[in-house]
Structure 1
Amino acid sequence: MKTHLVLSLFLLALTFSPSFAQQKRTKIGVAGLTHGHVGWILNAKDRQDLEIVGIAEPNRELAKRLTEQHGISMNLVFNSMEEMLEKTKPEAVTAFGNIFDHLAVVEACAPKGIHVMVEKPLAVSFDHAQKMKALAEKHNIHLITNYETTWYPSTFKAYEILKSGEVGKLRKVVVRDGHKGPKNIGVGEEFLEWLTDPKLNGGGAIIDFGCYGANLVTWLENGKRPKSVTAVTQQLQPENNPKVDDEATIILNYEDSQAIIQASWNWPIGRKDMEIYGLTGAIYAENPTDVRVLNAEGYSGFEETEYKLEYQNTPFEDPFTLFLAVINGELTLDKYALPSLENNMIVVEILSAAIESAKTGKTVYLK
């Protein structure tokens, strides 16, 4: 029972069955190869719990390059989603194309009862997200979203400390995510093309990195929607990002707390970190494995505790094991768990409001 409680706390407040082992190879289809994170699934081709049965990618040159790189047969590559689904009959699909196409992936998969996992964020707009949710519910499929920060030990240690009451009631969260910018860090040509396209990505840094903070804050706030969203965006590298923003700050106003999301393609050093402030202390999740807790003493004094965490090699420290556990009925996500549809509907609502706020220069009040 103790093991179950610890895993439940650290793994997104999950409820699960006692058996984690995947005894069969679940048939997985891959929708698109243009996402820079696609190596995640291609590197998983030899796993004992999944089998890549088909890849939908019309760019034959890209497909040839990546399949050769990962030792995958081009016989698995199809020019369209429809052909791949019809000929390979996957049980689940992982989407690694542009964000705009997430809706098309769900439209193709849901009526066939095929579960879907997309890379963050869920959708480019709230309208797309609502259509995806309706399809998932109508056809009873799982639709989950993958974020890198979902797999950080520091994320769950910070959550555990906050929920224990050690630093008092939540008052402020500051989340910072970003890097030098897609072109400056050398992402692939196909990835760069849609990542800096306002239609295919939905925006620039405000979408690419703003989604992390919206996801984490929604989880920490137990699924509350903010009362209002205020955002400011800038384009500081017009030569690299001529069509989209590359600097964004989003303020979320809750009834008894506030969140600040800083999303940037202008930071000299890549970062994904989070600060949580309660009435009596603060929690700093500085990177995937380091957490500091400052318990206040007097005006400016504090007692500091440091945690040097390690990955525990549990079945839940990568997206595919979790995805398979969910679709095979071994794992039930909490309603507002980080990968959950409910959480990510709020994420897209926040991002859509942030884009509107940045364009109009006004605070957007959520209905």
Structure 2
Amino acid sequence: MIGIGIIGCGAITIYRHAPEFSSNPHSKITGYYNPDRQKAEILAGGYGGKVYACCQEMLEDPLVDAVCICTPNKYHAALSIAAMEAGKHVLCEKPIATTIEEGKSMIEASERTGKILMIAHDLKFEYAHKKAKEILLSGEMGRILSFRTAFGHGGPENWSTDKSMNSWFFKKENTGSGVMGDLGIHKAHLIEWLIEDPVEEVKAFSSSRDKKLENGDLVEVYDNSICLLRTKTGIIGTLTASWTYYGGLDKSTVIYCSNGTVEIYNHPEIPLILTKNTKEKICYNFDTQSRSGIADSFINSIINGTPPDIPGEEGLRALKVVIACTRAYEENKTAGVGS
């Protein structure tokens, strides 16, 4: 049984990691740490485990085999490195870190200690995305020519445990970014995985359009970004991230190929549609997906001693794209995706 310690007891822990780790037959939640102790106590009451007085107490506990880090972004690197150096495997929420240097340090710590570092980019586990990649790799749709991908909703204040507009999501010192580090980074990771072609250059427009602090000032980070991406082989596409899609969720991806179009979550009721240039249309529906797959994949890697499905290197690649998009907008130029 793999003992799991969870640092950070916000919405992602409440709705995903705690229930998924507690229901995995090979893991047990050993305990929790959160600055607001009451949040940790509520989870301990629901899923079992103890409440730690501090992170160090958790890292010194021999019953903890792995740590799940669900804190504001600025703490990801330091906590991940400390956990691996304490002999714990790490599942870290996205983004991997707030800077490229921090991300590299996390990967180096994993290599140095021999501990698993996995980043919680969950979209590649969704049935529609897995099937779409299978189809793209088969060659059935021909060459990939271009794409558009989006991730937008009404903002973190609508789903996080902190409903205040003073949430850490809106403070640059905590996030290092804004909507691109929250939603855009998921799509940066997804599109490179789907088309197996790294993004090399970007252009972007970003803005703080509507999110305001309690005092009425616009938030410090961007709530909307629209980016133009060019891959190594010359595929051009757009990536849009928004916290102001007040009418509902959009996480669509459309890939335009020489033999037709692949639409993922672009229809309200059909998750995957192929439209071929012969006018043939193929629709795919899938069983309801009750688990994200993140916890299960992480536990399997630990048990089997295999590399994680989403290693630190993939998380760092996605972060590099996000940072390049921010630089492209702020410096008004085409930006290369850094090494």
- TM normalised by structure 2 equals 0.89
CA offsets per residue over residues 269-297 of structure 1, 9 Å max, x none?
11222111111211011179721001114
> 2-side partners of 1:243 and 1:312: how far apart?
35
Task: Give the match for residue 328 of structure 1.
Answer: 303
Superposed CA RMSD: 2.4
CA offsets per residue over residues 336-364 of structure 1, 9 Å max, x none?
x5x22222221111111111112112111
1:108–1:292 distance in 2 versus 1, CA, 3 Å? same
Give the letter for the 2:301 counterpart.
Answer: V
Q: Does 1:282 align with 2:261?
A: yes
Q: Does 1:211 align with 2:185?
A: yes
> 1-side partners of 2:253 and 2:38: how far apart?
39
1:43-122 equivalences under 5 Å are 43=19, 44-68=21-45, 70-72=46-48, 76-122=50-96
The 4+ residue runs of structure 1 with deviation greater than 6 A are none
Task: Give the match for residue 266 of structure 1.
Answer: 244
Task: Give the match for residue 362 of structure 1.
Answer: 333
Give the letter for the 1:40 counterpart.
Answer: R
Query: For this pair of structures, how many residues does the alignment match?
Result: 328
1:191-340 equivalences under 5 Å are 193-222=167-196, 224-240=197-213, 242-254=219-231, 255-267=233-245, 268-286=247-265, 290-297=271-278, 302-310=279-287, 318-329=293-304, 331-333=306-308, 339-340=310-311
1:113–1:357 distance in 2 versus 1, CA, 3 Å? same
Task: Give the match for residue 5 of structure 1.
Answer: none
1:35, CA displacement in angstroms?
4.7
CA contact (8 A) 1:32 1:96 kept: yes
Instruction: Choose from 167, 174, 189 the match for 2:162.
Output: 189
CA offsets per residue over residues 242-279 of structure 1, 9 Å max, x none?
11111011221123202311101111211222111111
Give the letter for the 2:325 counterpart.
Answer: A
Describe the SS at the equivalent of 2:244: coil
Task: Give the match for residue 15 of structure 1.
Answer: none
- Unmatched 5+ stretches in structure 2: none
Task: Give the match for residue 29 of structure 1.
Answer: 5
1:190, CA displacement in angstroms?
7.8
1:312–1:193 distance in 2 versus 1, CA, 3 Å? closer
CA contact (8 A) 1:166 1:281 kept: no
CA contact (8 A) 1:153 1:289 kept: no
1:312, CA displacement in angstroms?
7.9
Describe the SS at the equivalent of 1:227: strand
1:124–1:319 distance in 2 versus 1, CA, 3 Å? same
CA offsets per residue over residues 205-255 of structure 1, 9 Å max, x none?
111111111101221242x43221212111111425511111011221123
CA contact (8 A) 1:152 1:289 kept: no
Range that drifts further, 187-196 or 102-111: 187-196
> 2-side partners of 1:190 and 1:119: how far apart?
20
CA offsets per residue over residues 127-163 of structure 1, 9 Å max, x none?
2111111111111111111133233100011101111
Of all paired residues, the percent bearing the same amino acid is 22
Describe the SS at the equivalent of 1:176: strand
- Unmatched 5+ stretches in structure 1: 1-24
- TM normalised by structure 1 equals 0.82
